[in-house]
Structure 1
């Protein structure tokens, strides 16, 4: 019975990832509330980044852990944070700004910038009225002390 449950869960998650891949190309910013991204929307944006970075997001052994919460609130204020796990190995920690869609790999303090993501972020900015923070301010928000690796 446990094996069937695990297989069902894996198939369900794989289906969600496959559906998520198309999300980036069709991201509808009109669904973003003025208060910002839901955890699900942030997850979809993270999947766009992961695909850009060469992760095989359709692989059922790849999954997202999160969003991480502390006392019911985002672990980093203003960000939905996730771990990316392949089988049982953590591939990295990522955070998505709730108001702007800014995406960071939080261990290396790497900010992601590429055309498809910028297009999504412009749509989010139209809904929230907020633009991406400059690099220094965003680093401070995340607690990044060093330059990116």
Structure 2
């Protein structure tokens, strides 16, 4: 019985590891500059989150709107803000940190964290030399309570 549990755990871990490259391939980490993610790269990171959240990003009715700017500059320095839109209805508001790949739902003030995203964020951090902010610091930057 112990062997079967260990085997099942191994199969699950190997399955998750097999998924990581598929997610990581959506972002060409070789082209990340020390200054951080480009607009296109930030959208790619957001797409990883949306796929994880089971949005059908291949649907022509679903799109990413943004970045939202104020006077031609990001709403919050260091973040691109986007809306995910289905036809004409906004499904949610999101912020992507350009130095770390940190992704937040800015309506609920929730940070996304899951293995594939963490793997991408580690690659981004290696390129930029920046680490994810603490929950409190990131919340403060984004104006979350």
Report TM bin, short chain: 0.7 to 0.9
How far the C-alpha of 1:28 sits from its partner, in A, is 2.7
Query: Which runs of structure 2 are paired with 1:1-149 in the superposition (5 Å)?
Result: 24-26=23-25, 27-145=27-145
C-alpha contact 1:24 1:44 (8 A) present in aligned 2: no
Shift of 1:24: 3.2
Which stretches in structure 2 are left out of the alignment for 5+ residues? 1-20
Runs of 4+ in structure 1 over 2 Å off: 22-25
**Offset at 1:56?**
0.5
For residue 30 of structure 1, report the CA deviation from its aligned partner.
1.9
| Residue 25 of structure 1: how far off its partner (Å) | 3.0
Whichever of the two has the greater Rg, that structure is 2
* Stretch deviating more after TM superposition (113-122 or 65-74): 65-74
Residue aligned with 1:36, SS: coil
**SS of the residue aligned with 2:141?**
helix
Q: Is contact 2:33-2:127 (8 Å) kept?
A: yes
> 1:23 offset after TM fit, Å?
7.4
Q: TM-score, normalised by structure 1?
A: 0.80
Aligned residues of 1:24 and 1:45 also touching (Cα < 8 A): no
Instruction: Output one character per residue of 1:93-130: Cα deviation in whole Å (capped at 9) or x when no partner.
Output: 00000100000000100100000000000000001101
Alpha-carbon offset, residue 63 of structure 1: 0.6
C-alpha RMSD of matched pairs (Å): 1.3
Matched-pair contact (CA < 8 Å) for 1:35–1:128: yes
Contact 1:23 1:44 in 2 (8 A): no
Aligned partners of 2:135, 2:63: CA distance in 1, in Å?
A: 28
Give the whole-Å Cα distance in 1 for the aligned partners of 2:63 and 2:132.
Answer: 27
